[in-house]
A = this chain, B = another copy of it.
Amino acid sequence: MRLLVARCRVDYEGRLSAHLPSAVRLVMIKADGCVAVHADGGAYKPLNWMNAPNTLTESDAGLVVTNPQGETLHITLEEVVDDRTVELGEDPGLHKDGVEAHLQELLAAHPDALGDGLELVRREHPTDIGPVDLLCRDAEGAAVAVEIKRRGEIAGVEQLVRYLERLERDPLLTPVRGVLAAQRIKPQARVLAAERGIDCVEVDYDALRGRASDELRLF
């Protein structure tokens, strides 16, 4: 990784045009060739960048980065403050826990957390516009489609409505009830869900995980 601190101007031409007037900034060039120009603030997003794969040419004037789509990033160097290269090596990568996939696993194992007597029919039940997270049957044998989100927002309700439209057309399933399950559901999503006849269930991730490990302990 090369860390170049310099007074520079930057111009990007591609999906849009973007220009940075002269200032001192950090130019980070990674081993895979990707380039990012950072100011001393503004979260982790760079002011300007070019992802790999690209071709980088350097001259006294500065850097020109071009990618296969014909986008260009021109970095005009006016004064180099610091320029060093460090060896980082391969990164073993990030391990995440607590994303939607885990919530889906837990709810597939414990569908009754979504309603008494609910039983799983299948996960990722396919429709022609994408898979429904969980398809269940309730105690009366009626079909229940479940959309799972970490955070329940309007988009999640609309997604479930689209699935329900499709599922209702299946004579083996109809009528189909809809359930939006999330760790937190926003008030506006609740309002829209109510209008569309969809039930909302807030799920306690830690409690579910606790149930899962309790059961493991029994065996």
Cα of A47 to Cα of B26 in the assembled complex, Å = 18
CB distance from A189 to the nearest CB of B (A): 11
List the B side residues contacting A93 at CB < 8 Å: 20
Q: A18-B97, A97-B18, A158-B158 are in contact. Are A41 and B91 (CB under 8 A)?
A: yes
Task: Tell yes or no: A140 within 8 A of B by CB.
Answer: no
Task: Tell yes or no: A63 within 8 A of B by CB.
Answer: no
Q: A86-B81, A86-B82, A158-B158 are in contact. Are A40 and B1 (CB under 8 A)?
A: yes
User: Quick check: B47 and A41 within 8 Å, CB to CB?
Assistant: no
User: Quick check: A21 and B97 within 8 Å, CB to CB?
Assistant: no
Cα of A96 to Cα of B12 in the assembled complex, Å = 9
Chain B minimum-CB-distance residue to A151 = B15
Task: Tell yes or no: A192 within 8 A of B by CB.
Answer: yes
Task: Tell yes or no: A69 within 8 A of B by CB.
Answer: no
Stretch at the interface among A27-35, A110-118, A171-179, A210-218: A27-35
Q: Which of B20, B26, B34, B91 contacts A88 (CB 8 A)?
A: B26
Chain B minimum-CB-distance residue to A162 = B192
